[in-house]
Amino acid sequence: MSDLPQLPFAQTAVLDPPPVLLELQAEGPVVRVRTQAGDEAWLVTRYEQVRELFADPRLGRSHPNPDQAARVSNSVLMGTAVADDNEDENHALMRAMLMPAFSPRRMRAMRPHIQEIIDVVIDGMLADGGPVDLHERLSMPLPVLVICALLGVPYEDRDDFRAWSNALGDTVDGTRSAAGWENLTTYMKGLIGRKRTEPGDDLISDLIAEYGDQVRDDDLAMLSSGLLFAGHETTMVRIDIGTVLFLTNPSQRAAFLRDEKLAAAAIEEVLRRSVTGGGGLLRYAREDMDIAGTKVHAGEAVLLAAAAANHDERAFVEAVQFDIARPTNQHLSFGHGARYCIGANLARVELQLVFDALLRRIPTLRLAVPVEDLQLRVNQLGGGLVSVPVTW
């Protein structure tokens, strides 16, 4: 089956899903594809099926023979199967450990600190004058500062862990990705060791105090490394893309500034319209199952394409339009069900504050290059943009 559609699909416009992805969606909800790593998988593209499968207990990240499982990419993070005979129990424990730190109450308490970071960054941009690369000046440092404060990671180490994160997210060079993960987890293990004797007011110290006798330092290091990566990478990408969405849709920007009641809905639309990297979230069938009439065998890989589902006309009228006043917007950017993204509250707070400050404080903000000249971050787990040159 050499003629299978090959991931990753070409994204011909920086803000829109790959045309091939939407063409396959129009043909049916499930299609056989070849992954970037060269293996075969089932790609699920329609909203109804993707939403159902996010919550389906017959799918998981583990595989009875991980070395034989289909890979979606060569990244060691989310690229292949994990060996975990107690996946559901371990996942439930992880969520129980982290939920207090990411509760709505905790996020509300963090708002003043996040607002202060944003104000300082924008003050610096205004003092320097345009043009600037928003990616380097705001989109990257803001979520890094926030996740460092939450976890208790020294911000001065940011150049190291950003380099390790970039390596970790490499979807082509598996050796580079593995080295990035090794460096990041080794760093975290050292930090955990220091916090055992010198705890602080941060999540890692809290986890050590609460679970340090039950969970090994190696496991805490892997958990903290995953949080550090996901906690800044995904929000960084969405600040970049959201800014471009607002700047290329002046009527929506005007509506956002005119009506404060649209603020929350605007963030949901940014999340829905943000097309991030990869072909979908990797899962494996735990048993034979039927997906919209397609027979999927136990052990086969299933990719849940949230970006495609978020642009499914069956669920979203004029799905490719950026419309911050959508009456309903149950997008799947954070997943659905038991594995719903634990950092969703934090991401929403950051995005609400950053767009409100950016668009209100710099009313003449505009792209410094044509949108067609923006470059996509390719072969990176999180996708996104290389840079966002802006001026005012």
d(CA 227, CA 148): 10
How confident is residue 82, by pLDDT bands cut at 50, 70 and 90? very high
What pLDDT does 372 receive? Answer: 96
What pLDDT does 105 receive? Answer: 86
Predicted confidence (pLDDT) at residue 1 exceeds the cutoff of 50: no
Sequence-ordered list of residues with C-beta below 8 angstroms from that of 271, at least 6 positions apart, any chain: 238, 331, 333, 334, 347, 351
> For residue 215, which of 378, 320, 94 has the smallest C-alpha distance?
94
Q: What is the pLDDT of residues 249-283, one digit of tens each?
A: 999 999 999 999 999 999 999 999 999 876 899 99
What string of H, E and C letters represents the secondary structure of 63-103?
CCCHHHCCCCCCCCCCCCCECCCCHHHHHHHHHHHHHHHHC
What pLDDT does 210 receive? Answer: 94
Q: Please compute the mean of the pLDDT values over residues 210-235 and round it to a whole number.
A: 93
Following DSSP, what letter does each residue of 106-125 receive, concatenated?
Answer: HHHHHHHHHHHHHHHHHHHH
Q: Please compute the mean of the pLDDT values over residues 54-80 and round it to a whole number.
A: 95
The answer for 87, left when phi > 0, alpha when psi is -120 to 50, beta otherwise, is: alpha
Predicted confidence (pLDDT) at residue 39 exceeds the cutoff of 90: yes
What pLDDT does 244 receive? Answer: 98
What pLDDT does 282 receive? Answer: 97
How confident is residue 2, by pLDDT bands cut at 50, 70 and 90? low
Cβ distance 276 to 384 under 8 Å? yes
What pLDDT does 368 receive? Answer: 98
What domains sit in the chain, N to C, each tagged with a CATH number? 19-382 (1.10.630.10)
- Average pLDDT across the chain, whole number: 95
Predicted confidence (pLDDT) at residue 7 exceeds the cutoff of 60: yes
Helix (H, G, I), strand (E, B) or coil at 47: helix
d(CA 274, CA 260): 22
List beta partners, residue 376.
Answer: 385
What pLDDT does 359 receive? Answer: 97
d(CA 304, CA 237): 20
Q: Please compute the mean of the pLDDT values over residues 83-93 and round it to a whole number.
A: 92
* Percent of the chain topping pLDDT 70: 99
d(CA 171, CA 154): 27
Predicted confidence (pLDDT) at residue 300 exceeds the cutoff of 50: yes
Supply φ then ψ for residue 201, to 5 degrees: -90, 75
> For residue 202, which of 254, 150, 160, 239 has the smallest C-alpha distance?
150
Name the strand (E) or helix (H) holding 60: strand 59-60
Sequence-ordered list of residues with C-beta below 8 angstroms from that of 78, at least 6 positions apart, any chain: 72, 278, 281, 282, 381
Q: Please compute the mean of the pLDDT values over residues 347-359 and round it to a whole number.
A: 97
Beta-carbon-side half-sphere exposure of residue 236 (alpha carbons within 13 Å): 30
What pLDDT does 276 receive? Answer: 85
* Percent of the chain topping pLDDT 90: 92
> For residue 9, which of 17, 78, 49 has the smallest C-alpha distance?
17
Cβ distance 361 to 121 under 8 Å? no
Among the listed ranges 102-106, 226-230, 362-366, which one has the minimum average pLDDT value?
Answer: 102-106
Q: What is the pLDDT of residues 99-152, one digit of tens each?
A: 999 988 888 889 999 999 999 999 999 999 989 999 999 999 999 999 999 999
Q: What is the pLDDT of residues 285-296, one digit of tens each?
A: 999 999 999 999
Assigned token pair, 264: 């929350």
Q: Please compute the mean of the pLDDT values over residues 19-46 and round it to a whole number.
A: 97
Q: How far is CA 31 from the centre of its chain?
A: 24
Q: Is the peptide bond before 250 cis (omega within 30 degrees of 0)?
A: no
Sign of the C-alpha dihedral computed for residues 139, 141, 146 and 151 taken in this order: positive
